[in-house]
Structure 1
Amino acid sequence: MSNALERGLHAIELLAGKSTGLALQQVAEALDIPPSATHRMLNCLVEQGFVRQDHQHGNYVLALKVVSLALKHLSQSDMVDLAKPVLDRLARLSGELVRLSIVDGDNLVWISKAQGTRSGLRYDPDAGAEAKLCCTASGLAWLSCLSNERALELVYRQGLSKPGEYGPNAATTIEQLLNHLQLARDQSYASVDESFEIGAAAMAAAIRDSQQQVIGVISIAGPSVRLTPERMQSLKAALLEAAEEITAISLDSLPKLSMMTSRVSEQTD
């Protein structure tokens, strides 16, 4: 991959989630490149519509073109439409937030959701983000289907939780992480309570393709006061049934999408 392209992609990743954007100097320092080169790169991204510059503060902000391209790509498949009835049904049954994520290379990305709670206390985190593998139910559900060696490789790339960074029950050591993975294997689904954030709990099950490879994860998340261990156990059958149903409707677009990143990587290595 050329340096210019690599820098541009890193800049887009850096600006993602920064609602107020970043100043030129902040981008330059984060990417460890000279301000002059950073200015040229950002201007190129602005010209192509991937980044815009806030006229009031001068900060560089990620433009919606990136989002529109992703949505356009997803709209070409039936993946979300096929899975949506399953998500809706599980959300109504559980009364909680149900989400679908896909394996995209070495990452797990939430792509669709259904909210079961229409009033009262609701749990609804930001969508479209990558799951933190070591401390979310979705991440642990995927990792538990892999060998410990492969699971640790993925966690090392993303980073293990640091004390105080996420919820109080997040794994901050390899031993704790492996214990969480073994528990997920033993009970056929992953569960967390105040692991990703305080006051939130979740459970998740893997979705596999015809070759038994994990292509996605379906999860139920909600406040810990409602989604207790006992409540999770009562929802286990429904969660696993939903995962099997999504597999059964042959979501061909899931494996295709999840292989795209690895194919691009192979071509550019």
Structure 2
Amino acid sequence: MSNALERGLSALELLAGNAAGLPLQQVAETLGIPPSATHRMLNCLVEQGYVRQEHQHGNYILALKVVSLALKHLSQSSLVDLARPVLERLAGLSGELVRLGIVDADRLVWVSKAQGSRSGLRYDPDAGAEAKLCCTASGLAWLSCLSNEQALELVYRQGLAKPGEYGPNAPITVEDLLARLQRARSLGYATADESFEAGAAALATAIRHPQQPGAIGVISIAGPSVRLTAERMEALVPALLEAAGELAATSLDCVSKLSVMTSTQAPAP
């Protein structure tokens, strides 16, 4: 990959995490690029429509063209349309937020959701976010399909949770993380209670391709921990597993194209 392309992609990733945009100097300092080179790179991205510059403060902001590319890809694969009825049915049954996450190389990205809670306390994080692997139910469900070595490699790449960084029950040691993965393997699903953020709980299971090892994605149920108790999560497990089986049986051949790892990783021992 050329140096210019690497810099451009790094800039897009940086801006994607800052909705209000960033000034040129901060982009340059964060990426370790001289301001002059940063200015040329950002201007090129602006000309191509991937970035726009705010007039009032001059901040550079990610343009909707990047989002439209992802949405166009998903619409052509029919992934969201195929999964939507399953997500909505499970959301209606559980009364909670149901999300579909797809394995994309070494990341797990939430691409679709259905909200079951119509009133009162709702748990509704932004869609399109990348799952934190070590402390979300979705992340643990995917990692449990891999060997310990493969799982730890992905976690180290993303970063193990630091004390106080996420929820009070987040695993902060390798031993704790591996114990949770083993539990998820034994049960066939993963749970998280105040491990990603305080006051939130979730359960998730992997969607496995019938003809490939590993997982192509995950389906999860998330909500406030005061409502999504351990007993309630256990009661929802059969419906969650049934939904995952339905998605796996659906024609989701397009999903494997989103993931390099699904065709190369071996199942966990």
Q: With structure 1 as the length reference, what TM-score do the two structures score? A: 0.95
Instruction: Look up the equivalent residue of 1:241 and give its one-letter code.
Output: E
Separation of aligned partners in 2, 1:148 and 1:259: 19
Separation of aligned partners in 1, 2:259 and 2:206: 14
The answer to whether the 8 A contact 2:110-2:129 is kept is yes
Amino-acid identity (%):
78
The answer to whether the 8 A contact 1:96-1:222 is kept is yes
The answer to whether the 8 A contact 1:99-1:219 is kept is yes
Tell me the residue number matched to 2:74. Answer: 74
Write the mapping of 1:1-269 to structure 2, written as runs, cut at 5 A: 1-209=1-209, 210-259=211-260
Post-superposition offset of 1:231: 0.5
Deviations for 1:197-252, whole angstroms, at most 9, x for unmatched residues? 01000000000112232000000000000110100100011100100010011211
Distance 1:64 1:238, change over 3 A: same
Tell me the residue number matched to 2:267. Answer: none
Alignment length (residue pairs): 263
Separation of aligned partners in 2, 1:45 and 1:146: 37
Post-superposition offset of 1:260: 9.4
Alignment partner of 2:260: what SS? helix
Deviations for 1:21-73, whole angstroms, at most 9, x for unmatched residues? 11111101110111111111011011111111111001111111100111011
Instruction: Look up the equivalent residue of 1:152 and give its one-letter code.
Output: L
Separation of aligned partners in 1, 2:78 and 2:41: 36
Distance 1:149 1:10, change over 3 A: same
Alignment partner of 1:42: what SS? helix
Alignment partner of 2:46: what SS? helix
Separation of aligned partners in 1, 2:121 and 2:196: 18
Post-superposition offset of 1:261: 11
Alignment partner of 1:102: what SS? strand
Distance 1:203 1:260, change over 3 A: closer
Instruction: Look up the equivalent residue of 2:95 and give its one-letter code.
Output: G
Deviations for 1:125-169, whole angstroms, at most 9, x for unmatched residues? 011011000010000000011000000000011111111111011
Separation of aligned partners in 1, 2:215 and 2:12: 28
Separation of aligned partners in 2, 1:261 and 1:252: 12
Separation of aligned partners in 2, 1:212 and 1:262: 7
Alignment partner of 1:43: what SS? helix
Alignment partner of 1:22: what SS? coil
Post-superposition offset of 1:91: 0.4
Instruction: Look up the equivalent residue of 1:29 and give its one-letter code.
Output: E
Q: Which runs of 5 or more structure 1 residues have no equivalent in the other structure?
A: 264-269
Q: With structure 2 as the length reference, what TM-score do the two structures score? A: 0.95
The answer to whether the 8 A contact 2:138-2:204 is kept is yes
Distance 1:203 1:7, change over 3 A: same
Instruction: Look up the equivalent residue of 1:65 and give its one-letter code.
Output: K
The answer to whether the 8 A contact 2:212-2:262 is kept is no
Separation of aligned partners in 2, 1:79 and 1:44: 32
Alignment partner of 2:100: what SS? strand
Separation of aligned partners in 1, 2:260 and 2:186: 28
The answer to whether the 8 A contact 1:105-1:262 is kept is no
Separation of aligned partners in 2, 1:160 and 1:120: 33
The answer to whether the 8 A contact 1:217-1:243 is kept is yes
Separation of aligned partners in 2, 1:34 and 1:119: 51
Alignment partner of 1:76: what SS? helix
Q: Which runs of 5 or more structure 2 residues have no equivalent in the other structure?
A: 265-269
